[in-house]
Amino acid sequence: MTTEFIHTDEINDEVLARAGAIIRRGGLVVFPTETVYGLGANALDAEAAKKVYAAKGRPSDNPLITHITTPEDADKYAVTNETYRRLARAFMPGPLTVILPKRDCIPLATTGGLDSVGIRCPENKIARRLIAAAGVPIAAPSANLSGKPSPTRAEHVRYDLDGKVDMILDGGDCTVGVESTIVKVDGDRLTLLRPGGITLDMLRALFDDVSVAEAVTGKLPEGVRPLSPGMKYRHYAPSAPLYLVGGDDAKRRAYFSAADADTLLLVFDEEVGLFPTHRVIAIGGERDIAAQVKRLFAALREADAAGAKKILAPLPAKTGLSLALYNRMIRAAAHNIITL
């Protein structure tokens, strides 16, 4: 397959009409969102959904998220309620996915065999224009090889999926940098399944009953099916083993300094000059969590490009936006945590 790569300044109505036609006929189009790049297919077409799993090498029980143009479109594909509508009014369009009972038009191939579907209305204008041009909802996971760091730039997608998809739309760098927050709706109760740009605090400011799934900070129990992406399998991982180091800054920096010289260090911007004998990659200011979230996946890909044999990184906190960082990094590190 020859992949057509469309640069940012080439994206126009004619290009999006062609991309929409590819989606309608069962092809694959990669598109930007505010979170990460998505690998898109017709959510109503079981065979198209299977192509997504094949292109990524993704396990077929790992559900795909269904992307829509407006929050109101959810009623066509899912059984909504007032809780969904409150979420939509507060956070859509935006980096939020809501798990709801699916309607029959959504095939099981799209939902990983589940009777529920993840509904998301992205904020990114190119994404929404593409969905509108396609005239169908778009099922899309992150546009990377399964298990690898998610793509926040079109060049990341090209490296992983060139020759495996019909078209890549380059929309520039993603503004959030990690996948959407996912919540499951059960009446007026919410369960946080995956943290993201919509934080737990933001949800609890609107809803009295918001619980957190065990898999957010730990491992999914053996034999339990994942209700959403990012719950079960190793994700976001660089090729080299990654270890997260917890403890106060002084102890962590001493541990970093004592590491073998071929260990690559992910460090805060303020620490770049502290480790002259090591290769370092800056991940953002120590107190700028949004910058760290945005930089994470690109930094892990840079570590791969540098040929790192081992990677050390600070262990994030489990509060606020940092919970999204913690969730991604423990999976990237296969839960390898060093506590000092």
User: Please, how many CA atoms are within 13 Å of residue 200, restricted to the half-sphere of its CB?
Assistant: 20
Amino acid 61: pLDDT:
86
- Domain span holding position 96: 4-216
| Number of structural domains the chain divides into | 2
Report field, pTM of the whole predicted structure over 0.85? yes
CA distance 26 to 200: 36
pLDDT, tens digit (0-9, with 9 covering 90-100), for 305-330: 999 999 999 999 999 999 999 999 99
The rounded percent of the chain whose pLDDT value lies above 70 is: 96
Same domain, 91 and 211: yes
Query: Is there a domain that residue 236 lies in?
Result: no
Write the burial class of residue 334 (CB in 10 Å: 0-12 exposed, 13-18 middle, 19+ buried): middle
- Residue 339's pLDDT band, with cuts at 50, 70 and 90, is very high
Mean pLDDT of 99-104: 98
Same domain, 52 and 181: yes
Query: Is there a domain that residue 268 lies in?
Result: yes
Give kind and range of the element (H or E) at residue 161. helix 154-161
Query: Is there a domain that residue 231 lies in?
Result: no
- What mean pLDDT is reported for the chain? 95
Same domain, 186 and 334: no
Query: Is there a domain that residue 229 lies in?
Result: no
Amino acid 310: pLDDT:
97
Who contacts 320 (Cβ-Cβ below 8 Å, separation ≥6)?
A: 199, 200, 201, 289
pLDDT, tens digit (0-9, with 9 covering 90-100), for 227-280: 666 555 567 889 999 999 999 999 999 999 999 999 999 999 999 999 999 999
Asked if 283 and 268 count as a contact pair (C-beta separation under 8 A), the reply is yes
Same domain, 258 and 296: yes
Same domain, 128 and 267: no
pLDDT, tens digit (0-9, with 9 covering 90-100), for 200-234: 999 999 999 999 999 999 877 666 666 666 555 56
Angle, CA of 73, 79 and 84, to the nearest 5°: 70
Same domain, 26 and 175: yes
- Residue 147's pLDDT band, with cuts at 50, 70 and 90, is confident
Tokens coding 88 = 């939509």
Same domain, 118 and 54: yes
Query: Is there a domain that residue 201 lies in?
Result: yes
Residue 140 forms beta bridges with which residues? 65
Query: Is there a domain that residue 133 lies in?
Result: yes
CATH number at residue 301: 3.40.50.11030
Amino acid 58: pLDDT:
87
Amino acid 59: pLDDT:
85
User: Please, how many CA atoms are within 13 Å of residue 202, restricted to the half-sphere of its CB?
Assistant: 17
Q: Is the dihedral angle over the CA atoms 74, 55, 266, 338 positive or is it negative? A: positive
CATH number at residue 211: 3.90.870.10
Amino acid 234: pLDDT:
63
Amino acid 232: pLDDT:
55
Mean pLDDT of 168-181: 98
Asked if 53 and 45 count as a contact pair (C-beta separation under 8 A), the reply is no
Tokens coding 36 = 């990460």
Query: Could you say which of 199, 216, 233 is where a domain stops?
Result: 216
Residue (of 167, 217, 221) closest to 31 by Cα position = 167
pLDDT, tens digit (0-9, with 9 covering 90-100), for 25-64: 999 999 999 999 999 999 999 999 999 999 999 888 889 9
Same domain, 259 and 131: no
Same domain, 249 and 196: no
Amino acid 242: pLDDT:
97
Query: Is there a domain that residue 237 lies in?
Result: no
Same domain, 209 and 251: no
